[in-house]
Amino acid sequence: MEAVIIRSNRGEVKEVRRVSVEGGIIDLVKRLAMEALESWDADSDFVVMRDTYTVVLEIPLAEEEFERLKGFNLRRKGSLAVADIPIFGISGKNRCTEQGVEILELVLVAPSISERVDGELVEYAREMTKPS
In a domain, 38, yes or no: yes
In a domain, 17, yes or no: yes
Q: What is the pLDDT of residues 20-53, one digit of tens each?
A: 998 899 999 999 999 999 989 888 989 999 999 9
Q: What is the mean pLDDT of residues 59-83?
A: 95
In a domain, 116, yes or no: yes
How many domains would you assign to the chain? 1
Q: What is the pLDDT at residue 69?
A: 96
pTM of the model: 0.93
| Widest CA span in the chain | 49
In a domain, 62, yes or no: no
In a domain, 74, yes or no: no
In a domain, 60, yes or no: no
Domain residues for the domain of 99 are: 2-54+87-129
Q: What is the mean pLDDT of residues 54-82?
A: 96
